[in-house]
Each structure stands twice: as structure tokens, then as C-alpha cells.
Chains A and B, each alone.
Chain A
Amino acid sequence: MQTLVNMFKNNLRQYGMVIALILITALFWFLTDGIILKPLNLTNLIAQNGFILVLAIGMVLVIITGNIDLSVGSIVAFVGAIAGVLIITHGVPIWVAVLVSLVVGALIGIWQGFWVAYMGIPSFIVTLAGMLIFRGLTLYLLGGQSLAPFPRSFQMIGNGFLPDIVDGSSVHVLTILLGIFFSILLIVLEYRKRKEGSHLQQEPVHFGWSLLRLALLIAVINWFAWILAMNKGVPIVLVIVLVLIIVYSFIMNNTVMGRHIYATGGNRKAADLSGIKTKKVVFWVFVNNGVLAALAGLMFASRLNSATPKAGDMLELDAIASVFIGGASMAGGVGTVVGAVVGGLVMGVMNNGMSLIGVGIDWQMAIKGLVLLAAVGFDVYNKNKAN
């Protein structure tokens, strides 16, 4: 019985943020008379928050290594500006522009990673400088003006949908199929995890609990797919985000690189003496973050259908807040990709919900700030209690 209670407690903490997300969604569902979960709004919600989730995924790796990146908002603007100048002013083919943008993101990452990892300058300083540098370069590139519009094909990144496999259906068939596919995938993964679990000598997760969790997840996925299918199907943004979640979760949990990132953040000296090249780890995490920020910049510009000097203003704070709401620790070594995404969704649902019920931008900011403080405060309180 004691173990059952303990297990519930542990799981409750693990899923605390997910439960919070559900409660916040339920609250806004109630306050907006259900509008928040209507097909059209849900699609909007994804499109509006996709780039924040991409930034949060890059940011969580940076924060796990014990660093921070304040420059991503400016990188979003800078990359948007580059794409704008290339595509709109110079008519460069879109795939070339996209590629150049991502390379620019990588170069920015190399620049900042070099100073942080190899020169030992605190990331706060390096990226604060980066924030100013790249905002300044954006203004220079755009001459203080917005560039618009982008060609239709470029707008697809932020506003497009996966084409359906069946023509003329009232619902989007591919979306439904994808929902079913992911359900099966989850079952297979859970089965493999349980089978492996007996080898791992881990505290076994109660069978009933894992069944319940699985059932809930599958229900949510299929319901979600159904709602999207009733609108235009799966947004491209969602595809990008899902692919990133899967790839980065895998990297963090199952690869040597992922372990090195956690080890570097958890105890850098011990990692060094265990043969981990921690400088290299930090360097590549910054390069990676530069590329993801560039991707977010493309998504942002595409969504807005313009390159503007003010683009991505304060986005770094949204990304950082998402990561901390998702359970990461300022000291490094702790955090998950899924956590950061859930944190990002909490922010996203609040943005969207508060806009729907007509809360002004002033109160939106104040409330988001309080939620960030409450989430991290709750985490710290729990940890202190455990000690």
C-alpha cells in the first residue's frame, strides 16, 4: 500500500505539468464556452505557438548544460530578415534561402558557442551581446522597414497543411490515419519499455497505471487528430514540431551525445574527468540552438508573411519560461524535451485563451509572469520538502 501511495506521488510529480496543462485548458474551455478547443482555434493555437516550441526544444538543451541563450528572439528576427531580403528583394529560390538561413543560424551558434565554450565567457553575457548584435543587424538589413509579402510556397511553412490522401472527403483522412498510427506506435513502445523494464531492475511501473496512462494518451491523440481533421488537417508546423520532439527526445535519452549533455550540466568537472569533452558539448549545443532558432525564424516570418525589425521581440523569454515551467533547473543537468514542450503549451494555451476572453496584453504578461514564478516555486518547494 505504501509503495502504491509512493508511486502515485512520484507519478504525480512527474506528470504535474501535464496535469496543470489539462487544468488550464479546462479552465479556458469553460471560460470561452469551448471555443478554445474548436477545430479552427486549435489549428490556430498550433500555428501561433509552433515556433515557441521549436525555440523551447533548442533552449532546453542549452539550459541542461547550465547555460542560457538570450539571443534567440533576435536570431528569429535576423534570420527572418535574411530570408526576406533573399526571397523578396533578390528573388532567390526558396529552398536556397531556407538553406542559407539555417546555415546563418549555425554560424551564429558557432560564434556564440566559441565564446561560451572555448573562451569561458558566461553565456548570459555572450548571448546578451548577441541579442543586441543580431537585433541591430536586423534593423540594418531591413533599413527599419518591413518586407512583405513572401511567395505562397514560403508561406506554406507557417500556414500550410499536409495534403490529404483522399480527395473530397469532409474530414481529413490522413490526419485520422496519423492519429491511429501514433496510437499503435505508442502501444509498441510501451510494450517494449515494459519488457525491457524487467531487465533494467527498475521499480516496475504498476501495470494498471501504465495501461491507464496509455489509454488516456491514445484517447487524447485520436481526439486531437479528429478535431484537426474537421478543419484542414495537420499543419506543417505541427509536423515540424513533432519530428523535432521525437528526434530530440531520442537524442537526449538514447544517445551518447544526450548523456554527455546531461553529464556536462550535472557536474562539469566529473564529466571532464570521465573523458567527456565538455567544451565540445557546450559548443555543439549552441550551434544546435542557433540552427533551431533559425528554423523558428523561418516559421515566424512565414506565419507573419513578412520580415519585420520587431519580429521575435521577447521570444527568448517565452522559450526560457517554457523550459523552466517544464521542470528544468537553472543549475543545469535537469530538464527534458517533452517537459519543455509541455511548458511551451502551457504558455501557448494561456496566450490563446486569454486573448479569446479579451484579456489585454498588459494583464497577459503579468499573469504569465506569475505562472512562471508559481510553477518553478512549486518545483523548488517540492524539492525542499523531499530533502
Chain B
Amino acid sequence: MSEIVLEMRGITKEFPGVKALDNVNLKVRSGEIHALVGENGAGKSTLMKVLSGVYPYGQYEGEIWFEQELCRFKDIRQSEERGIVIIHQELALSPYLSIAENIFLGHERARRKIIDWKQTYAEAQKLMERVGLDESPRTLVMNLGVGKQQLVEIAKALSKNVKLLILDEPTAALNEDDSQNLLRLLVELKKQGITSILISHKLNEIKSVADTITILRDGRTIETLDAAKDDVSEDRIIKGMVGRELTHRFPPRQAQIGDIRFEVRDWVVYHPQQPDRKVIDRVNLYVRSGEIVGIAGLMGSGRTELAMSLFGKSYGRNISGKILKDGKEIQVNNVQQAIRHGLAYVSEDRKTYGLNLIDNVVRNISMASLHNLSKRTVLDRKRESEEAERLRKAMKIKTPSLNQIVANLSGGNQQKVVLSKWVLTEPDVLILDEPTRGIDVGAKYEIYTIIHELAAAGKAIIVISSELQEVIGLSDRIYTMCEGRISGEVSGDELTSEGAEELQEKLMRLMTDTGGRNGANAS
């Protein structure tokens, strides 16, 4: 356990104008889970790209020692030959190929260039058992959820006789269940002697599995903590990441809660492709003006489907139920009507559903408000720019100019652009779906501040999140969702009176409450 398997010494990597890595040192012991943490842009991914040969020898300074040998990788192939395999955040699987085909992609089990299917499936089956993937090896990857796809990636890594497994934000797209599975698997692989480097934003995960934690900040190694000896509490790690004590990860707030603004009654939604599958089952909820209501649910619980079906029936079919605003029933059959009635929906996936990445900041901000910014369909471009500039200041969007292409902004600033877009429509009800996903700690705090300001302005806000701390820290009241139903509600009194640990446990219980079958005695 104490033998050093990997040592990176004095790694410096410069990009034009930026020093991404500045004399970074990293020592990984054999058979451990080594967590690499840091804010976005701290250099974690760059360091791993240096290690895996994405940035070949010669493009960086410093030395890489793997198993007591100096390594000079020219590409990923060479690092993989040594048993270093990196699994990126965006999975690199081919959706139309089977699990087995994906596992051996590039290393096909073949005799004289002709695939040996028997061997392929047999070996795939063995690897899948090792990672706990209970599927047929012939299943197409497109039919798997993200969690299982992640397992395929790991099986693929195992097929290459991996010694050092690098996982870049492996649980970012996973729900709590799948995340737990994955972490258990890492621990299992550790027992089999496989060393892992885990890059993650989720500090609770790190705390639970990591043996050693290295903290990077601004391209430098700040410190390495040993879980066996040092204090590795979340606050301790955060202190290292941001270099200052964060006593409040959520800004202080005095809630001013008014009357019921938005109410949903008996909302039922069926799956768009499978007409007899109920995705949302008789959901009832309400939000008061000035109130922030959290919806906590695991991925697959129907929280995004609920939000999108409420927002102009953008998801699902055979939708029934009532939507009331300020006590009156409203018809919301398409997005235009939703916007007209003062609804706004910020998607969990800003790149796919929120932004036109190839267009600039102004045009993204104005995208949902063009009719208000025009006279007889001719745009008032001056007013458009003025409004965008006002929001840029209010939201503290860091961009060299309003003409900057949105793709070039950081995740936090992109999210602020999406928020600006919806604030410009002057909504009364905002549904924020995972508003801080993939955003660094500093930007998260700013987003929370913005959410508070919106609530203070009397808007009714629904925040959907799978991060329990976020839901608890942000909400005045919480609904939990499970299997398309509202499985529980945590009142404001409970939120203020109970401890964080207690609340999290309670929420987790409600979120996994699968109804009468096994959840009856859980609450």
C-alpha cells in the first residue's frame, strides 16, 4: 500500500498566454484511490491529459515516473500500453454498437482480422461480471442509461489490463444510486490491486472513498491530505480549494413569503414513445411568491420530466391536470403560452437546451424576449443591447464583451447567460433544473445569490437538484420525488430545526421511497 506507483514531478504546462500547470507534483501510492480536487480551471484535467499522453512528451516540462520508470508518452496509445487508462467525463462509446463491441473497440478479439465473436462475447461477459453490469453483451449501448454506460467504459479499461484508472468527473451525470454503485466498484477494484485517480466536484463522495486527496488551485499543488491521518472534512477540502474558509456556502437570506403563486393539481404525464407508461403520476404542488421550493429526486425520478411537461407540455403526451396561477386556472399548451403566463424553465443541460452556443451573449439573452424587444417584428437592437448590458452587470457575467460567442464562456458564466435570458422575459414563476451543475464553487455561490434576489423580487421559484446540500441550503420547503410521484414534503420548520445530517438522511429516505412496497415504514 505504501509503494509509489506514479510520481509526476514539477509538471509545468503552458498554453499561449496561460500557465495551466505550474510545477505540479503528484504522488500516487499503489492500490489506493487518489482524489484530485480543485475548482474548475484549477488544472486537474490538464494534469491528467499530460499523464495520459494527450499532451505528448515535449509539450510540457517535468517528469512522469510510472512503476519506477521514466515515461515519455507520445499519445494515449502508449500510456494505455503501460496500463494507464483515462475515462473522460463525456463518455466515448459508440451508441449503435453492442456492449461487447464497445469493450473491445480498437482491440478487437480477432483472428487474422476476422472477429472471433465467441471469444468476444465470452470475455465481455467476464468483464461485465467484474464491474457488476447485468446485461447481455449483445445489448446496444444506446439502450443503456448513463450509469451503465459508465460501467461499460470501466469494463473496457479492464480489458486493457489497466493498472491506473483515471476517472474524470465520473458521477457528474449519474444519479445517487448509480454514483454509489460506481464508488463501490472503485473500492472493489482497489481490492483487486487497481489504483485509481478520481477527479470530482462532489466532496462527499471523495470523503467516502478516497485514501489520499490532492488539492490543486490555479495550476499548483496546494496540499495532499491523507484520509487516515488528516482532517478531510468537506469544509477542510473546500478551504484548500478556494484558499479561504467558507463559513457560508449559501448566502444569508431573509425569506419574504407571500400568497400561493403557482399551483399544480393532479398532474399526470405519459411517456412520449411508450403511451401506456406513466411518467408523472398525480403530482400536486404549490409555490408561494417569494418562496424557493426544492424538488429533490434522483435521476429517473421524473423531476425533469415534470418540469418540462409543466413548461408548455415540452415533454410527454396525454397530459392531464390543472395549472393555476394566482388562483386562476391557466392553459399552458405550448412554450409560447408558458412564457406569456410568466413561466420560465432553465434546463439542466444548458448546452443542449439552453444556449445557442455559436451565437453571442446578446442574442442568447434576448432569444426568448424578441417580441417584447421589437416593434411590428422589427427589432430594437439598441434596446436589446441595453437590456443585455443591464443583465450582464446584474448577473456579473464575466465576458470581454456582449459580442463574445457563448461557447467561449466558462460554465458558470454560460449558466448566468441562460438565467439572464429568462429573467428578461420577466417571469413570475421560475423552474430551475440543476442550476449549478458542473459549475465551480465560486460561481455556484453567485448563482445562489441571484436565485435569492429573484425570490426577494416576489417570484415563485422551484429548484430541482440532486445535490441534497444544495436543496437543503437553498429551499424554504422541499418536495421529494420518486418514480414520478411526490413522495414527501419537508416543511420550512423541519428545515430550520433539524440538523443537516438528519435532513439529508430523511430526504434520501423519501427519495428512494418506492411507495407501498417497501417504503411504508420508512417514514
Q: Is the CB of B401 closer than 8 A to any CB of chain A?
A: yes
Q: Is the CB of A4 closer than 8 A to any CB of chain B?
A: no
Q: Is the CB of B339 closer than 8 A to any CB of chain A?
A: yes
Expressed in whole angstroms, the Cα–Cα distance for A69 and B151 within the complex equals: 43
Q: Is the CB of A284 closer than 8 A to any CB of chain B?
A: no
A273 in contact with B363 (CB, 8 Å):
no
Expressed in whole angstroms, the Cα–Cα distance for A271 and B385 within the complex equals: 20
Q: Which residues of chain A in 198-234 are interfacial with respect to chain B, using CB atoms and an 8 Å cutoff?
A: 199-203
Could you say which interface size class chain B belongs to?
A: 35 or more
Expressed in whole angstroms, the Cα–Cα distance for A202 and B385 within the complex equals: 9
B374 in contact with A270 (CB, 8 Å):
no
Expressed in whole angstroms, the Cα–Cα distance for A145 and B420 within the complex equals: 61
Q: Is the CB of B402 closer than 8 A to any CB of chain A?
A: yes
Task: Mark A257-281 against chain B: 1 for CB-CB distance below 8 A, else 0.
Answer: 1011011001101111111110000
Task: List residues of chain A with CB within 8 A of the CB of B353.
Answer: 269-270, 273
Interface-lining segment among B74-82, B129-137, B221-229, B365-373:
B365-373
B401 in contact with A333 (CB, 8 Å):
no
Asked whether A266 and B359 contact (CB < 8 A) given A196-B382, A199-B386, the answer is yes
Asked whether A255 and B374 contact (CB < 8 A) given A200-B402, A203-B401, A274-B367, the answer is yes
Task: List residues of chain B with CB within 8 A of the CB of A202.
Answer: 385, 401-403
B379 in contact with A255 (CB, 8 Å):
yes
B370 in contact with A256 (CB, 8 Å):
yes
Q: Is the CB of A334 closer than 8 A to any CB of chain B?
A: yes
- State the main secondary structure of chain A at its contact with B: helix
* Cβ contact of A275, chosen from B339, B386, B400, B402, cutoff 8 A: B339
Q: Which residues of chain B in 338-368 are interfacial with respect to chain A, using CB atoms and an 8 Å cutoff?
A: 338-339, 345, 347, 352-359, 363, 366-368
Expressed in whole angstroms, the Cα–Cα distance for A158 and B377 within the complex equals: 33
Asked whether A276 and B367 contact (CB < 8 A) given A256-B374, A334-B358, the answer is yes
* Cβ contact of B352, chosen from A254, A256, A270, A275, cutoff 8 A: A270
A272 in contact with B335 (CB, 8 Å):
yes
Least Cβ–Cβ distance between B334 and chain A, in angstroms: 8
Task: List residues of chain B with CB within 8 A of the CB of A275.
Answer: 312, 335-336, 338-339, 368
Task: Mark A324-353 against chain B: 1 for CB-CB distance below 8 A, else 0.
Answer: 000000000110000000000000000000
Task: List residues of chain B with CB within 8 A of the CB of A199.
Answer: 382, 385-386
B356 in contact with A263 (CB, 8 Å):
yes
Could you say which interface size class chain A belongs to?
A: 20 to 34
Task: List residues of chain B with CB within 8 A of the CB of A255.
Answer: 374, 377-379
Of A201, A202, A257, A277, most buried by chain B (CB within 10 Å of CB) is A201
Expressed in whole angstroms, the Cα–Cα distance for A274 and B357 within the complex equals: 14
* Cβ contact of B381, chosen from A201, A254, A262, cutoff 8 A: A254
Task: List residues of chain B with CB within 8 A of the CB of A254.
Answer: 378-379, 381
Asked whether A273 and B359 contact (CB < 8 A) given A199-B385, A201-B385, A254-B379, the answer is no
Task: Mark B477-500 against chain A: 1 for CB-CB distance below 8 A, else 0.
Answer: 000000000000000000000000
Return the chain A residue nearest B359 by Cβ.
A266
A201 in contact with B335 (CB, 8 Å):
no
Task: List residues of chain A with CB within 8 A of the CB of B378.
Answer: 254-256
Task: List residues of chain A with CB within 8 A of the CB of B368.
Answer: 274-275
Of A203, A271, A273, most buried by chain B (CB within 10 Å of CB) is A273
Task: List residues of chain A with CB within 8 A of the CB of B314.
Answer: 272-273
Of A254, A267, A272, A333, most buried by chain B (CB within 10 Å of CB) is A267
Asked whether A267 and B401 contact (CB < 8 A) given A256-B371, A272-B314, A272-B335, the answer is no
Return the chain B residue nearest A199 by Cβ.
B382
Task: Mark B82-108 against chain A: 1 for CB-CB distance below 8 A, else 0.
Answer: 000000000000000000000000000
Asked whether A274 and B335 contact (CB < 8 A) given A199-B385, A200-B382, A201-B385, the answer is yes
Expressed in whole angstroms, the Cα–Cα distance for A255 and B381 within the complex equals: 9
Task: List residues of chain B with CB within 8 A of the CB of A276.
Answer: 367
Task: List residues of chain B with CB within 8 A of the CB of A256.
Answer: 370-371, 374, 377-379
Q: Is the CB of B311 closer than 8 A to any CB of chain A?
A: yes
Of A267, A271, A275, most buried by chain B (CB within 10 Å of CB) is A275
Least Cβ–Cβ distance between B381 and chain A, in angstroms: 7
Return the chain B residue nearest A258 by Cβ.
B379
A271 in contact with B403 (CB, 8 Å):
no
Task: List residues of chain B with CB within 8 A of the CB of A259.
Answer: 363, 366-367, 370, 379
* Cβ contact of A273, chosen from B347, B371, B382, B386, cutoff 8 A: B347
Return the chain B residue nearest A195 by Cβ.
B382
* Cβ contact of B356, chosen from A196, A271, A277, cutoff 8 A: A271
Q: Which residues of chain A in 264-312 are interfacial with respect to chain B, using CB atoms and an 8 Å cutoff?
A: 266-267, 269-277
Expressed in whole angstroms, the Cα–Cα distance for A252 and B17 within the complex equals: 37
Q: Is the CB of B389 closer than 8 A to any CB of chain A?
A: yes
Expressed in whole angstroms, the Cα–Cα distance for A203 and B374 within the complex equals: 24
Least Cβ–Cβ distance between B470 and chain A, in angstroms: 23
Return the chain A residue nearest B384 by Cβ.
A200
Task: List residues of chain A with CB within 8 A of the CB of B402.
Answer: 200-202
Task: List residues of chain B with CB within 8 A of the CB of A203.
Answer: 400-401, 403
Q: Is the CB of B437 closer than 8 A to any CB of chain A?
A: no
B359 in contact with A333 (CB, 8 Å):
yes
Return the chain A residue nearest B347 by Cβ.
A273
* Cβ contact of B385, chosen from A200, A262, A266, A277, cutoff 8 A: A200
B354 in contact with A270 (CB, 8 Å):
yes
Given contacts A267-B355, A273-B335, A334-B358, 4 further A-B contacts (CB under 8 A): A196-B382, A257-B377, A269-B353, A270-B352
User: 4 nearest interchain CB pairs?
Assistant: A266-B356, A274-B368, A200-B385, A275-B335
6 residue pairs of the A-B complex, CB under 8 angstroms, read A257-B377, A262-B356, A266-B359, A267-B358, A270-B352, A276-B367
- Listed in ascending order, the chain A residues whose CB lies under 8 Å from chain B are 196, 199-203, 254-257, 259-260, 262-263, 266-267, 269-277, 333-334
